Structure formats: C-alpha cells, structure tokens
C-alpha cells in the first residue's frame, strides 16, 4: 500500500518548487525570505514569482526544443552549422515566458510565415499597429525553425531523395510533436490496409513540398 508522503517543510518545498520550475536552486536569501514569510498567500506568491522568471522559459522550453530536434548544426557526416538556429531557441523560450496560447504557438511553428495578419483593434495608432505587426512577423518567422532545423543529409547526390528525406523528417516531427502521434507504422503498412493514414501522409507531404524551405540554415 502506497502511503502519502509527509508534508514538506518550507525549505524543502521551496527547493523542490524552484528546481522544478527553473532548474536552479533557490538562493540563500530566497530561502530566508520564504521561511520568514508567514502570509496566507506566501505559497501563491512564490509560485507566481517563479512562473514570471525568465529561467522558467529556459527550463521548460528545452522540452519543446527536444521535440523540435533542435541543434546548432545539421548533424550527420557534414555537421554543418545552423548559424541562425538560436533565433528559434529564443522564440520557444520567449513563448513560454509570455504564456502564448498553445494553438497560436503550434500554428506559428508549422506555418508562421503563411499566417494572415490579425484584425486591427480599434483605437490603436498607425505607428503602434505597424510596430506590433513587425514584432509579430519576426516572431512567426523565428517559429518556423521548427520545420527548418533537424538532421539533413546535405551530401545526398540525388536532390529528389534529399528533399523527400527532409519532408519525411518534417512529417515525423509534426506527428510525434504537436499531434502526439507516431507516424512510423503509417509509413511501413500497406496503403490498402490503412488508406486513411496513407492519404493523410501524402497530403502532408504534398503541402510541405509546395511550401518547402530552400534555406535549411536560415
């Protein structure tokens, strides 16, 4: 029989919470302040403080970077540097710290450069609106690193095979990341067995081919 763990003391609670949300230990001053704070909202206050920390996005954004197969190079034999990969890394961290809605986050990852402009709200000046659009466009372009990054066999002599290998990797990344679905069996099973799955893969591949990335290191 599993027994409920005893309630953690305040020092242990703060250490566990800080490690969990930021990946770093609390400072001695933070421990002293929390132990001395007997306010009924002390726990709420420390949670809010850690969630608003820039370290929060770094701690939890790394999980999405893993899903996105983030690296500073294409790996494989060439190991060619992606000199601008850090823009995508910073976008993911910023998205967590700014608490961007999940649906908006996913749309930007998959099609940030194809999204329409949002409707202009009333009462905003031309200058402020143009500044907002410029910032939004830059964010959306940074987000498209989700599909641009990843391992690529750039020494492949057959350009068609290289393109299809990249598209295959992109389909797997979208399926296993945002969609949470393994596409591996769909690729190896016979079309007559799962025509719906094969049809979806073919449509996804066609769309990615029509909107391909000709600059893998951007």
- Give the pair of three-digit tokens for residue 175: 């399926």
Number of domains in the chain: 1
Q: Please report whether residue 15 resides in a domain.
A: no
CB atoms within 10 A of CB 90: 15
Q: Please report whether residue 7 resides in a domain.
A: no
> In the predicted model, what is the mean pLDDT of residues 132-151?
92
pTM, to two decimals = 0.79
Q: Please report whether residue 191 resides in a domain.
A: yes
CB atoms within 10 A of CB 141: 16
Q: Please report whether residue 34 resides in a domain.
A: no
Structure confidence by residue, pLDDT tens digits, 146-192 = 988 888 888 888 888 888 888 888 888 887 877 776 666 555 555 44
Residues 35 and 10 sit within 8 Å (Cβ to Cβ): yes
Signed CA dihedral, 118, 200, 203, 156: sign only: positive
Q: Please report whether residue 204 resides in a domain.
A: yes
Boundaries of domain holding 91: 68-210
- Give the pair of three-digit tokens for residue 156: 């492949």
- Give the pair of three-digit tokens for residue 23: 């990946």
Structure confidence by residue, pLDDT tens digits, 6-36 = 899 999 999 999 999 999 999 999 999 999 9
């Amino acid at each position: 029989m599993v027994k409920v763990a005893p309630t953690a003391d305040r020092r242990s609670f703060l250490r566990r919470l800080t490690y969990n949300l930021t990946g770093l230990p609390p400072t001695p001053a933070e421990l002293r302040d929390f132990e001395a704070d007997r306010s009924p909202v002390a726990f709420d206050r420390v949670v809010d403080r850690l969630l608003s920390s820039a370290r929060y996005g770094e701690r939890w954004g790394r999980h999405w970077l893993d899903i996105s197969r983030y690296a500073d190079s294409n790996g494989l034999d060439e190991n060619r540097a992606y000199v601008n990969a850090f823009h995508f890394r910073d976008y993911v961290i910023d998205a967590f710290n700014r608490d961007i809605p999940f649906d908006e986050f996913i749309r930007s990852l998959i099609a940030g450069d194809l999204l329409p402009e949002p409707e202009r709200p009333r009462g905003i000046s031309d200058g402020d609106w143009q500044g907002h659009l410029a910032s939004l466009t830059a964010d959306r372009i940074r987000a498209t690193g989700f599909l641009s990054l990843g391992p690529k066999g750039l020494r492949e002599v057959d350009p068609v095979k290289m393109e299809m290998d990249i598209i295959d990797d992109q389909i797997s990344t979208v399926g296993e990341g945002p969609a949470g679905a393994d596409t591996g069996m769909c690729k190896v099973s016979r079309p007559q067995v799962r025509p719906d799955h094969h049809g979806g893969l073919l449509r996804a591949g066609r769309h990615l081919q029509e909107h391909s990335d000709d600059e893998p290191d951007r």
